[in-house]
Amino acid sequence: MAEMYGAFENLRKHKAVLHNAVALNSGIHLAAWSNKRDTITQYCDHHTLSLYIADGYESYHKTRAGWKNGGGPDRFCLMPKESESSWDIRDDLSFVHLYCTDDHLRHVGEQIWDKSPHALSLDESLFGDDAKITALYRHFILGCDWQQSANQLTLSTASTLLLTHLVQHYSNVQWALPTVTGGLSPYVLRNVLGFIEDNLAQPLTLADLATQAALSEYHFARMFRQSMQLAPHQYVMQRRMEKAKALVRSTRQPLTEIALACGFSSASHFSNRFRAATGFTPSQLRAASA
């Protein structure tokens, strides 16, 4: 899945166990791993952001002064491109990796700050503690099924927010975030909402929606929230649930077909999200409506 990312391929050659992986439409990749009693040296031509999900207390990083540990749940490591790091994993460790390139960082800079940095480098950070990174990983990335197309918008939003945070706080540019005031114009908002309604069956991304408004992803997401009082991914999921409820109640269409029409690639995932939103499974609601 991630042949272009050396850190991913290197881990597969060691004892690390791959539990989940997804390639986002932007080219950013996510991978969930576990490992134990392994030694690894990484040197890559891309950036890796790693968040410790569970354990990791006995994960050691090689320094000039010897092996040092400092891992544990919610600690993160940022390994910039062309940095070499050696690791001794002496006990259980579960972690998620986000892999990205200089092009992804430059794109964020251009989209948000309207600047194209000549040189953009990230700062190495080992066993760091950052509440914003933790919240984005825990709430957005770990909180949804990566393989469901309906979650592409959530994952693409989270990756954009993570890269924005890295550029702002862990790079050599460190620009202040621009202030966004006011929402979308009524005309643009109508076009975006219409596009969403017409494409609920598709794996919508933040870039798809921002293109409809001719805005950067950053500005669109914040202006949309001001207009609708919901983040784009929340609004899209709300509309998917409303469409699903209407189809379940008013038609005899098979539930699998309804799931696909509302952007869910499996009936089980659709049923779980439906029950979380309504308190009923689709079949239960259909029976009650009948």
What confidence score (pLDDT) does residue 37 get? 96
What's the full length of the chain, in residues?
290
This prediction's pTM: 0.78
pLDDT reported for residue 216: 84
pLDDT of residue 2: 44
Given this model, what pLDDT does residue 118 score?
A: 63
Digit-coded pLDDT (tens) for 40-90: 999 989 999 999 999 999 999 999 999 999 999 999 999 999 999 999 999
Residue 1's pLDDT is 46
DSSP label at residue 203: -
Beta bridge pairs of residue 31: 21, 97
Question: Strands of 38-43's sheet, edge to edge?
Answer: 38-43, 84-89, 59-63, 66-69
Q: Taking Cα atoms as reference points, which of 3, 23, 5, 63 lies closest to residue 155?
A: 23
Angle at CA of residue 70, ends 64 and 73, nearest 5°: 150
Residues in CB range of 4: below 8 A, 6 or more apart: 46
Question: In the chain, which stretches have pLDDT less than 50?
Answer: 1-3
Going across the sheet that includes 75-79, the strands are: 17-23, 29-35, 93-100, 47-55, 75-79, 125-129
What contacts 231, CB < 8 A, 6 or more positions away?
157, 221, 224, 225
Say what the pLDDT of residue 174 is.
65
User: In a 10 Å sphere around its CB, with 0-12 CB exposed, 13-18 middle and 19+ buried, how is residue 116 labelled?
Assistant: exposed
Enter the tokens of residue 46.
Answer: 């891309």
